[in-house]
Structure 1
């Protein structure tokens, strides 16, 4: 199959396929004119790569999941560790969703007067708060609380 057919069947742009080849994630079997050609088995490998990315693995981590023969050799400990990371992420996202739903229905005059909304802001990842907090955009996170309305 040429690179265009692989792109069409996998749903990935040819540029991604070239990048994956450069990273050693896939290998072409040759060329037909100027176009790379691939074995049909590349589609399964691309599906594994997509699954790994969806699960949150980096391309380097995914590359390490293939043995020297190119067959999957996935470290089950890495899968368990990623599953634990996803559990934590699910808990955070669930709390965020619930907080947003509350904020949408909250009767406080301002979201900044809602204790649950303030807790939601406090739970935001530190890296997302850091630069803005330093500029004083969120002074209420530094201990300077405004009066809150009870809901």
Structure 2
């Protein structure tokens, strides 16, 4: 089995050596030894780092990713947790779509002043209610007084 030193792993993955050391400190990867002052890793670390990157891209925290790996090389991914994360991504997509549409409307709005536009006022009110923050899905329906 071939071993890679930390600089080779960094070069192949595009990660900084400091990130690799941090991942090792967090228990996400494990060095198998040293060559001089350089940490050595088994080749499989590349695949594990790819799984970590995938988990992060999906919005999992490093703690959640570490729990998925536990002490084994193969991740134990709870399917219910994947469905929860997919639902969270759906909410983010809806929020970002509403923000994108609001920005496009504001850019193309026919009203001379944005605050004269009922749709723009709904967007501002949604932001004031916190509906455009990460944890909530926007509700851009008009307030009863604006209908």
2:3 corresponds to 1:6: no
Partner of 1:64, secondary structure, is helix
Q: Structure 1: where are the runs of 5+ without partners?
A: 130-142
Q: Is the 8 A contact 2:31 2:41 kept in 1?
A: yes
Partner of 2:39, secondary structure, is strand
Equivalent in 39, 46, 60 of residue 36 of structure 1:
39
Q: Deviations over 1:34-69 (max 9, x none)?
A: 011111100000001001111111100111111322
User: Per-residue deviation at 1:116?
Assistant: 1.8
1:81-100 → structure 2 map (5 Å cutoff): 81-100=84-103
Equivalent in 8, 14, 18 of residue 15 of structure 1:
18
Which stretch shows the higher mean deviation, 48-57 or 61-70?
Answer: 61-70
User: Per-residue deviation at 1:128?
Assistant: 8.2
CA distance in 2, matches of 1:104, 1:13: 40
1:124-139 → structure 2 map (5 Å cutoff): 124=127, 126=130
Equivalent in 54, 58, 62 of residue 55 of structure 1:
58
Moved over 4 A (4+): none
TM-score, structure 2 as length reference: 0.82
Which stretch shows the higher mean deviation, 110-119 or 59-68?
Answer: 110-119
Q: Structure 2: where are the runs of 5+ without partners?
A: 134-142
TM-score, structure 1 as length reference: 0.80
CA distance in 1, matches of 2:121, 2:9: 49
Residue number in structure 2 paired with 1:103 = 106
